[in-house]
């Protein structure tokens, strides 16, 4: 290894600097410094390529991708409910409000038990890293100790993460067995988690706190206002749910006479570092408000098919420059990988474009022009996620953190199969996004540190 701790990775890379375009660089040479940031990303005809490659080889610090291996940026999952991990793939049969009360709040209440929290959260962080999710934005529960454990585990395993202690204090909508005792207590615990995460030994920004009012129905005005103050004082990130379903959207309208977006804005919760999950029922005015704030939407298409009653107006949002990334919404969405979410985003956009009811005339069946491409979904899963979080992640370019994965198309017993005589670079990209599983994700780095290395050939 070189004295300065730098290293290089050479091979074909896929990333998306611009919305709608996949950049394919064959035999690219990515150079990473000791802090885990990319300092150079050279193509073979760039000046210095041969010299840099030779130096890295000499120093024994060059990884050369094997045949059939490709380098991608790590995925950014903007919306994960960590405590719901044990019910992923189940409990999808009832509407949102009932889902919360019947399945989800009882499960989340169990995280009073720190041993249970450690088991579940350890499993989740491991599974997400194995799927190439290098940045994860987590809702934890109302429990401060369990929330600390999640932050600890992310730092230990080396996953970039934003960890939020959930705030929910409304006696009208939250059950007695799972509710903050008061707005003040929720605000104090939120501050305590922020201090804890920022003070974690060895944490130089890999794990960050995020202020987390659950959503409008579960928070009193006092809580929303108090959390807005915390955000104003600390500059912390914010996450919440926004206009997810007819019920949730209608609840906010009735209570405040305005949309969720406007409510969050009024309480100081809509900032450049805010992630609004879902937002399926936002209006065009809401879009303008979100754009003006520089806030972002976490689009969760699979979850939305079960709980949202409509498809997020993705095309319009992207066209207005609204920041949009993707979220699995574990466990509202029964899948673990953002790779799957990418393809679900495309499918949802196609179904929105064409409509669903065959008895309606095609001219009125759907919302014309709604579709997004797989390349656009890939941008959202990587570059767009970084933009949403205001963090230098998602691209294999100088100045970005080296958060990356190798997808291996030659793993045994895999559905990801190439036909070299037929497949173009673009085909390799599309097949990888449609057919890879965690078994194909053979190496993963976060901030230059290797957090997964398996072999399947």
Interface with its own copies by CB under 8 A: which residues? 86-90, 92-93, 107, 120, 123, 127, 130-131, 246, 280-281, 302, 305-306, 308-313, 334-337, 343, 346-348, 350-352, 354-358, 362, 365-367, 373-374, 413-415, 417, 419, 422-423, 426-427, 430-431, 433-435, 437-439, 454
- In the complex with its own copies, the residue whose CB is nearer, 9 or 428, is 428
* Cα separations in angstroms, 208 against 63, 120, 382, 399: 30, 20, 19, 20
- In the complex with its own copies, the residue whose CB is nearer, 210 or 335, is 335
- In the complex with its own copies, the residue whose CB is nearer, 126 or 188, is 126
Minimum CB separation from its own copies for residue 377, in Å? 12
Minimum CB separation from its own copies for residue 208, in Å? 26
Minimum CB separation from its own copies for residue 106, in Å? 10
Between the two ends of the chain, the Cα-to-Cα distance in Å is: 26
Bridge partners, 277 (sequence order): 241, 298
- In the complex with its own copies, the residue whose CB is nearer, 258 or 439, is 439
Task: Name residue, tokens 């066209």.
Answer: 319
Minimum CB separation from its own copies for residue 95, in Å? 10
Minimum CB separation from its own copies for residue 451, in Å? 14
- In the complex with its own copies, the residue whose CB is nearer, 336 or 447, is 336
> In angstroms, rounded to a whole number, what is the distance separating the alpha carbons of residues 72 and 393?
12
Bridge partners, 167 (sequence order): 213
> In angstroms, rounded to a whole number, what is the distance separating the alpha carbons of residues 183 and 164?
16
Minimum CB separation from its own copies for residue 343, in Å? 7
- In the complex with its own copies, the residue whose CB is nearer, 220 or 328, is 328
DSSP single-letter state for residue 328: -
What phi, psi does 133 have (nearest 5°)?
Answer: -85, 105
Provide the 3-class DSSP secondary structure of residue 82.
Answer: helix
Minimum CB separation from its own copies for residue 358, in Å? 4
* Cα separations in angstroms, 13 against 69, 225, 377: 9, 45, 17
Of 349, 300, 405, 246, nearest in space to 84 by CA: 300
Please list, in sequence order, all residues whose beta carbon lies within 8 angstroms of the beta carbon of residue 391, skipping any fewer than 6 positions away. Answer: 135, 160, 401
- In the complex with its own copies, the residue whose CB is nearer, 127 or 198, is 127
Contact 437, 32 (CB under 8 A): no
Minimum CB separation from its own copies for residue 317, in Å? 12
Q: Is the peptide bond before 210 cis (omega within 30 degrees of 0)?
A: no
Q: For residue 215, count other CB atoms closer than 10 A to its CB.
A: 25
- In the complex with its own copies, the residue whose CB is nearer, 410 or 435, is 435
């Amino acid at each position: 290894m070189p004295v300065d701790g730098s290293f290089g990775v050479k091979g074909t890379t896929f990333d998306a600097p611009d919305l709608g375009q996949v950049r394919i660089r064959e035999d690219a040479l990515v150079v990473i410094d000791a802090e885990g940031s990319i300092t150079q990303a050279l193509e073979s005809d760039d000046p210095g390529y041969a010299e840099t490659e030779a130096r890295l080889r000499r120093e024994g610090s060059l990884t050369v991708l094997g045949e059939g291996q490709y380098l991608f940026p790590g995925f950014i999952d903007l919306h994960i409910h960590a405590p719901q991990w044990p019910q992923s793939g189940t409990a999808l049969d009832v509407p949102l409000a009932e889902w919360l009360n019947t399945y989800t709040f009882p499960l989340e209440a169990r995280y009073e038990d720190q041993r249970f929290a450690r088991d579940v959260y350890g499993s989740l962080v491991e599974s997400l890293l194995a799927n190439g999710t290098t940045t994860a934005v987590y809702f934890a529960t109302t429990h401060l100790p369990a929330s600390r454990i999640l932050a600890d585990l992310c730092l230990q395993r080396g996953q970039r993460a934003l960890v939020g202690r959930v705030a929910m204090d409304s006696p009208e909508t939250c059950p007695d067995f799972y509710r903050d005792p008061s707005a003040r207590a929720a605000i104090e615990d939120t501050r305590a988690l922020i201090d804890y995460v920022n003070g974690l030994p060895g944490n130089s920004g890999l794990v960050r706190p995020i202020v987390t009012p659950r959503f409008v129905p579960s928070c009193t005005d006092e809580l929303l206002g108090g959390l807005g103050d915390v955000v104003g004082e600390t500059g912390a990130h914010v996450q919440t749910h926004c206009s997810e379903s007819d019920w949730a959207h209608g609840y906010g309208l009735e209570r405040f006479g305005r949309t969720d977006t406007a409510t969050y804005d009024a309480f100081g919760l809509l900032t450049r570092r805010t992630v609004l999950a879902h937002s399926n029922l936002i209006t065009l005015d809401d879009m303008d408000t979100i754009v003006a704030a520089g806030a972002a939407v976490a689009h969760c298409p699979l979850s939305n098919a079960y709980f949202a009653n409509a498809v997020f107006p993705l095309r319009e949002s992207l066209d207005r420059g609204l920041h949009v990334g993707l979220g699995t919404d574990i466990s509202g969405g029964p899948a673990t990988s953002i790779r799957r979410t990418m393809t679900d985003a495309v499918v949802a956009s196609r179904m929105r474009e064409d409509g669903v009811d065959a008895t309606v005339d095609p001219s009125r069946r759907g919302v014309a022009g709604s579709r997004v491409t797989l390349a656009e979904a890939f941008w959202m899963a990587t570059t767009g996620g970084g933009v949403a979080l205001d963090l230098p992640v998602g691209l294999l370019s100088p100045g970005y953190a080296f958060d990356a994965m190798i997808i291996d198309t030659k793993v045994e017993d895999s559905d990801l199969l190439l036909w070299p005589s037929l497949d173009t670079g673009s085909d390799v990209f599309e097949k990888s996004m449609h057919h890879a599983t965690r078994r194909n994700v053979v190496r993963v780095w976060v901030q230059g540190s290797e957090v997964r290395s398996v072999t399947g050939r």
